[in-house]
């Protein structure tokens, strides 16, 4: 195990490069996920304020239906 | 043909595909990390420092590929007046930007043990730095302008200017004397890299590609919901 981490003295460089990469992935994933959830919640809130007539009209659009079905699935 | 690019049809697929892509990415990345950090051999000259290649090279390839795709879709959007092409370009940009930063940072970390310096104003490194600036400009334009037509025009202009830099990055190691080594992998001729290092590199490239696809899908769905939010405001 020590040998794998030490890597002939290059461990600190190799592991920091891999760590930076994985942390960047995690950061980007979380930021993108947060933006998605934020927009979805905004959509739900706005949809909730619509009148029955407006809501029925909005539901005619396939994407709106999809977004709402994802909400109910979650 | 453009009916295939209709948001209504795409959203259904993209919203379902995310979880499968995430699962596949985790599997491929795990295999790639095992290969890159444990199973692949050390280099006779660079010893274990060569392992940095498994994150540095795929990140650089993908950042170049994504910028080329952004340019392609922006030009298509401009020619065919199809808004969805711009949406695809916009959704690709964040992962391309992050991959470009990863390529620069891991390259810098690799430079210290191999060249003895964190940074050099070498042709390849400098041109990669210029690319990250183009990515930043592209992303900023989408944030600062409200008028869609203006955003489309300026962002396409930035990508056209930036794409000139892509072949410069590719051939910089051939055109100038640089610290950076020439390409070890050639599609048209025989690669100079041994298969024991090539396969882990390809697995890591596949993992990185899946990650950029995952981010693209999530970002694209977010953009579509944003548009729908505006639509609800107009009701």
Q: Which two tokens stand for residue B73?
A: 């879709």
Let me know: does B214 contact B18? Beta carbons within 8 Å.
yes
Give the pLDDT score at B188: 65
Q: Where are the domains of chain A?
A: 2-73
For residue B181, the 8-state DSSP code is P
Smallest Cβ–Cβ distance between A18 and the set B55, B94, B101 belongs to B55
Name residue B43's beta-bridge partners: B47
For residue A41, the 8-state DSSP code is H
The 10 Å Cβ neighbour count of residue A60 is: 8
Distance CA A12, CA A39 (A): 40
Is A14 in contact with B52 (Cβ distance < 8 A)?
A: yes
Is A43 in contact with B232 (Cβ distance < 8 A)?
A: yes
Closest Cα in chain B, distance from residue A22 (Å):
10
pLDDT by residue, tens only, chain B of 235 residues: 555 566 666 777 888 899 999 999 999 999 999 999 999 988 888 888 999 999 999 999 999 999 999 999 999 998 998 888 999 999 999 999 999 999 999 999 999 999 899 998 988 999 999 999 999 999 999 999 988 889 999 999 999 999 999 999 988 888 877 777 777 666 666 767 788 889 999 999 999 999 999 999 999 999 988 888 877 766 6
Give the E-state strand segments of chain A in sequence order: none
Q: Does A13 touch chain B (CB under 8 A)?
A: yes
- Topology at the third CATH level for domain B17-40+48-182+193-225: 1.20.120
What part of A 45-64 touches B (C-beta under 8 Å)? 46-47, 50, 54, 57-58, 61-64
Q: Is the pLDDT of residue A73 over 50?
A: no
């Amino acid at each position: 195990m020590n040998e794998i981490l030490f890597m002939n003295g290059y461990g600190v460089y190799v592991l920091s490069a891999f760590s930076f990469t994985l942390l960047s992935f995690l950061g980007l994933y979380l930021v993108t996920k947060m933006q998605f959830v934020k927009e979805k919640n905004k959509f739900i809130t706005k949809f909730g304020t619509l009148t029955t007539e407006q809501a029925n009209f909005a539901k005619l659009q396939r994407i709106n239906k999809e977004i709402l079905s994802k909400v109910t699935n979650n | 043909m453009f009916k295939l690019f209709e948001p209504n049809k795409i959203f259904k697929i993209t919203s379902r595909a995310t979880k499968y892509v995430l699962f596949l990415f985790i599997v491929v990345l795990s295999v790639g990390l095992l290969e890159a950090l444990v199973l692949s051999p050390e280099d006779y000259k660079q010893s274990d420092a060569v392992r940095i290649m498994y994150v540095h090279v795929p990140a650089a390839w993908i950042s170049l590929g994504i910028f080329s795709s952004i340019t392609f879709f922006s030009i298509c959007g401009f020619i065919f007046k199809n808004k969805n092409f711009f949406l695809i370009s916009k959704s690709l940009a964040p992962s391309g930007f992050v991959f470009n930063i990863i390529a620069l940072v891991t390259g810098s970390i690799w430079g210290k043990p191999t060249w003895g310096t964190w940074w050099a104003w070498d042709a390849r490194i400098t041109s990669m730095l210029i690319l990250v600036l183009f990515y930043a400009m592209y992303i900023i334009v989408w944030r600062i302008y409200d008028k869609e037509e203006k955003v489309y025009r300026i962002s396409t202009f930035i990508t056209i200017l930036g794409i000139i830099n892509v072949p410069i990055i590719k051939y910089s190691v051939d055109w100038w004397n640089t610290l950076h080594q020439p390409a070890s992998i050639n599609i048209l001729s025989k690669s100079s890299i041994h298969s024991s290092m090539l396969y882990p590199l390809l697995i890591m490239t596949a993992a990185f590609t899946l990650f950029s696809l995952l981010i693209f899908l999530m970002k694209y769905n977010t953009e579509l919901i944003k548009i729908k939010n505006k639509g609800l405001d107009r009701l």
